[in-house]
Amino acid sequence: MLVNKMPLKRICEVVDISMPTLYDKIDFIHRQCIAFTASRERRLLEGMPIKRLYIGTDRQDYLVNWPQSKDRRNVILRAVGSADNTTSYVFGMHLNFDSSLDCTVVEADAIETGDYQKRYPFRKYARLWLQKDYGDALQGEKMYRFTGKSLDREIETTYQEAIERDDVEVSESLDENMKLPSKGMQVHSEYTLYGHFFFLKQLFSGVEKVRFFLDQESGIRAACLSVFTEEIKEGKCDAFYVRINKDLTISEDERKKALAKSRKERDALERRQVGMKVFHIYGFLFTLELYVHLFNEFTAHVQLLN
């Protein structure tokens, strides 16, 4: 019933259980999923040998409805996930939320320790959204929008907008209709992003080469390139920007046609690259033959002079 998205109250009616019993069952399923995943992914942490991985990374927003009609602002939490493009296995889906913390206790301690008077990197609670910081961000936040129509123009515009921010790695857009969660604490997205990629780096210790496919987002780009710096330098990791055309429809076969066209262009490019390699090989052999001919001519000329 959970998998089929049946409402929780309806589940309780159908199977004749109380809401606490249902939540206990959900917690039990959650523990079992973690245990199942741990037993498999432990082999990755031990350096399971894998030749290639093609990883798609993206972020997803979760809209948490307002708990009371007097305050209809929404809580928006963001998660980052990475999946294997070949098998669709999801290596991690990490949410920028910490349920173990009490916001009133943290706020009081932040004031007492002088966190608000310190720069972000030197704060005790730098990774968390504090109330005053959130309010200030709501006042000064600008919503960024694409203004270009072409892909090149969109890339250029996105870079320009990121440069204009106080911190290029911060890409969370806030407005007056949003608020912080009343229970637990919301984590700055950039901390979640870095944690996610460090987690992937541990899992991929036995992988020969990793290739990431990312949205053009400054936070994701910075986290990926920073965490996998050495692997990129050594040629063991690549990162590509991708853009999804969400206007295409399956019914008109637009996606299938676009995919077939892109594969045709890719195959033509591969054939062209092979041809260029052959051309370079023949060019090298011709140059080598020329040098040998010139050397023989020079040697013969020297012998004649002697």
Among 212, 244, 276, give the residue marking a domain's end.
244
**pLDDT tens track for 98-153:** 999 999 999 999 999 999 999 888 999 999 999 888 888 877 654 334 444 555 66
Residue 107 shares a structural domain with residue 189? yes
Residue 172 shares a structural domain with residue 223? yes
In a domain? residue 249 = no
Residue 141 shares a structural domain with residue 237? yes
Quote the mean pLDDT of the chain. 82
Give SS3 for 152.
Answer: helix
In a domain? residue 179 = yes
Residue 171 shares a structural domain with residue 259? no
Residue 55 shares a structural domain with residue 198? yes
Residue 60 shares a structural domain with residue 143? yes
Reported pTM: 0.69
Task: Give the pLDDT confidence score for residue 148 in this predicted structure.
Answer: 45
In a domain? residue 76 = yes
- Supply φ then ψ for residue 73, to 5 degrees: -70, 145
Task: Give the pLDDT confidence score for residue 292 in this predicted structure.
Answer: 65
**pLDDT tens track for 168-198:** 556 566 667 788 888 899 999 999 999 999 9
Q: Which domain holds residue 30?
A: 1-46
Residue 261 shares a structural domain with residue 127? no
Residue 64 shares a structural domain with residue 213? yes
Q: Which H or E element spans position 94? A: strand 90-95
Residue 168 shares a structural domain with residue 297? no
Asked whether the CA dihedral 114, 117, 118, 123 is positive or negative, the reply is: positive
Domains in the chain, number: 3
pLDDT along the chain (306 residues), means of 10: 93 95 95 91 86 93 76 86 93 93 93 91 92 82 45 62 58 70 91 95 92 88 93 93 70 72 82 67 62 64 60
